[in-house]
Amino acid sequence: MAEFDVVVIGAGHNGLTLAAYLAKAGLSVGVFEKRSIAGGGLCTEEPLFPGFLHNMHANFHLWPDFAPAWKDLQIEKFGMGYVHPSIPWSAPLSDGNHILIHNQIALTEKSFARFSKKDARTFCKLKRDLDRVFEKIMLASIYSVPKEPNPELEKELAKLPWFNKDWFGMSLFEAADDLFEDETVKTFILANIWFAGWPPDFKKMGDLVPTFLGLCNHMYLPRGGTYRLAQTLSRIVAHYDGRIFTNCDVGKILVRDGRAIGITLAKTSPLIQEQEIIARKAVVSAIDVTSTYLELVEDGILDASVKDQVKRFDYRGNSLINFHFELNQAPKFNSKDHTIDKGWSQDIGYENYGDLKEELASISKGDIPDIPRYEAGVNTLFDPSYAPPGKHIAICYREMPNTDKLNGGREKLENMMEGYADRVLEKWESYAPNMKKENVIARYIYTPYEYERKIVSMRTGSWSLGRMDYDQSGINRPIRGYADYRTPIKGLYMCSSSCHPGGSIFLAAGYNAAKVVLQDLK
Residues of this chain that bind ligand FAD (CB under 6 A): 9-15, 32-35, 40-41, 57-62, 249-250, 286-287, 291, 320, 322, 451, 455-458, 463-465, 496-497, 503-505
With beta carbons less than 8 A apart as the criterion, state whether 280 and 3 touch.
yes
The DSSP symbol for 292 reads I
Torsion, CA 458, CA 459, CA 465, CA 467, rounded to 10? 140
| Cα gap 281→293, rounded to integer Å | 19
- Look at the alpha carbons of 24, 265, 271, 228 in this order and tell me if their dihedral is positive or negative: negative
| Cα gap 243→239, rounded to integer Å | 10
Q: Which is nearer to ligand FAD, 185 or 196 (CB)?
A: 196
At its nearest, how many Å lie between ligand FAD and the CB of residue 40? 2
| Cα gap 5→260, rounded to integer Å | 12
Q: Which is nearer to ligand FAD, 185 or 277 (CB)?
A: 277
Q: Which is nearer to ligand FAD, 237 or 250 (CB)?
A: 250
Around Cβ 71, how many Cβ atoms within 10 Å? 10
Q: Which is nearer to ligand FAD, 93 or 406 (CB)?
A: 406
At its nearest, how many Å lie between ligand FAD and the CB of residue 272? 12
Q: Which is nearer to ligand FAD, 206 or 448 (CB)?
A: 448
The DSSP symbol for 385 reads G
Closest Cα to residue 64, out of 228, 200, 286?
228
The DSSP symbol for 40 reads T
Q: How many helices (H) and strands (E) does the chain have?
A: 15, 19
At its nearest, how many Å lie between ligand FAD and the CB of residue 464? 5
Q: Which is nearer to ligand FAD, 156 or 347 (CB)?
A: 347
Q: Which is nearer to ligand FAD, 108 or 504 (CB)?
A: 504
At its nearest, how many Å lie between ligand FAD and the CB of residue 154? 27
Q: Which is nearer to ligand FAD, 31 or 126 (CB)?
A: 31
At its nearest, how many Å lie between ligand FAD and the CB of residue 403? 12
At its nearest, how many Å lie between ligand FAD and the CB of residue 118? 32
At its nearest, how many Å lie between ligand FAD and the CB of residue 126? 24
Closest Cα to residue 280, out of 12, 20, 27?
27
With beta carbons less than 8 A apart as the criterion, state whether 460 and 319 touch.
yes
With beta carbons less than 8 A apart as the criterion, state whether 17 and 143 touch.
no
With beta carbons less than 8 A apart as the criterion, state whether 502 and 477 touch.
yes
Closest Cα to residue 276, out of 292, 293, 255?
255
Q: Helix, strand, coil: what percent of the chain each, to 5?
A: 40, 20, 40
With beta carbons less than 8 A apart as the criterion, state whether 334 and 433 touch.
yes
At its nearest, how many Å lie between ligand FAD and the CB of residue 18? 9
Q: Which is nearer to ligand FAD, 34 or 316 (CB)?
A: 34
Q: Which is nearer to ligand FAD, 213 or 465 (CB)?
A: 465
At its nearest, how many Å lie between ligand FAD and the CB of residue 518? 19
| Cα gap 432→424, rounded to integer Å | 12
| Cα gap 425→14, rounded to integer Å | 35
Q: Which is nearer to ligand FAD, 109 or 326 (CB)?
A: 326
| Cα gap 199→202, rounded to integer Å | 6
| Cα gap 11→286, rounded to integer Å | 7
